[in-house]
């Protein structure tokens, strides 16, 4: 695979895992997942992880995957790359895994004494990637192995934090997010 194909495949395959965070920011709110429960005097997850935000993120990511499948052929033709098609298991696992990775990170943040919204460099940028890749590897192992070659994975790991920082900074400037991370 040439460089363009590797980068295009990486971004395309990860798009259903990228939008859930942003959808959660837009549509989040309501009862927190942890119901206010604490562990060792600190919240289990905190008020930043809600049922509504999680559901919205999952649905938004899966819906984007359906849309990407519909436009895969024409887009691939324009850029001259054979882009991946998402099987149902991957459509569901990419955004759900992203949300679970983010929730897992909040659990770690609370255990390490970080308040809601406190930055956790590295973890904030990669939690959802790790979650999405792990759950997808479990849910759609064949598709995962075909799509995420070592070079594609390398691009995902390098490009994702950059994209994440960029989109969060934009969401912050637009007043959608309280902190730029
Ligand atoms: N959000 C949500 N449900 C989720 C994830 C996010 O409702 N599962 C919403 C919340 O309104 C949250 C916002 O999106 O405040 C930003 O998400 P994030 O930065 O992940 O949460 P933080 O508020 O920074 O909390 P934490 O420190 O636990 O990451
Ligand atoms: Mg945050
Ligand atoms: K986060």
Q: Is the pLDDT confidence value at 26 over 90? A: yes
- Asked if 95 contacts 16 with a C-beta cutoff of 8 angstroms, the reply is yes
Q: How far is the CA of 145 from the centre of ligand 1 (A)?
A: 31
Over residues 23-42, the mean pLDDT reads 96
Q: Which of 143, 104, 141, 142 is nearest to 126 (CA)?
A: 104
Burial class (CB in 10 A: 0-12, 13-18, 19+), 69: middle
- Percentage of residues in the chain with pLDDT exceeding 90? 89
In tens, the pLDDT along 48-80 reads 999 999 999 999 999 999 999 999 999 999 999
127 CA distance to ligand 3 middle (Å): 7
- Look at residue 179 in the predicted model and tell me its pLDDT: 87
Transcribe 122-178 into DSSP letters.
THHHHHHHHHHHHHHHHHSHHHHHHH--HHHHHHHHHHHHHHHHHHHHHHHHTTSSS
Instruction: List 39's β-bridge partners, or say none.
Output: 42
The predicted model gives 68-96 an average pLDDT of 98
| Cα of 124 from ligand 1 centre, angstroms | 11
Q: Hey, whose CA ends up nearest to atom 15 of ligand 1? A: 48
Residue nearest to atom 10 of ligand 1 (CA): 48
Side-chain half-sphere CA neighbours of 75 within 13 A: 13
> 113-138, pLDDT tens digit by residue?
999 999 999 899 899 999 999 999 99
Q: Is residue 165's pLDDT more than 90?
A: no
Ligand 1 pocket, mutate which of 17, 21, 24 (most atoms under 8 A from CB): 24
**ipTM for this prediction:** 0.98
- Give the distance (Å) from ligand 3 centre to CA of residue 84: 27
**Closest atom of ligand 1 to CA, residue 106:** 28
Residue 83 has pLDDT above 90, yes or no: yes
Among the bound ligands, the one closest to the CA of 129: 3
Binned at pLDDT 50, 70 and 90, residue 41 comes out as: very high
């Amino acid at each position: 695979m040439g460089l363009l194909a590797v980068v295009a495949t990486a971004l395309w395959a990860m798009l259903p895992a990228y939008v859930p965070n942003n959808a959660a920011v837009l549509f989040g709110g309501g009862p927190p997942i942890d119901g206010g429960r604490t562990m060792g005097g600190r919240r289990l997850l905190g008020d930043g992880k809600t049922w509504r935000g999680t559901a919205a993120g999952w649905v938004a990511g899966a819906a984007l995957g359906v849309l990407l499948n519909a436009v895969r052929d024409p887009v691939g033709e324009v850029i001259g790359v054979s882009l991946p098609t998402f099987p149902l298991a991957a459509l569901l696992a990419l955004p759900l895994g992203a949300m679970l990775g983010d929730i897992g990170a909040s659990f770690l943040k609370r255990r390490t004494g970080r308040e809601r919204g406190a930055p956790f460099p590295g973890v904030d940028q990669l939690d959802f990637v790790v979650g999405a890749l792990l759950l997808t590897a479990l849910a759609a192992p064949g598709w995962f192995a075909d799509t995420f070659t070592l070079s594609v994975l390398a691009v995902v790991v390098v490009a994702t934090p950059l994209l994440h920082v960029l989109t969060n900074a934009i969401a912050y400037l637009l007043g959608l997010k309280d902190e730029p991370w």
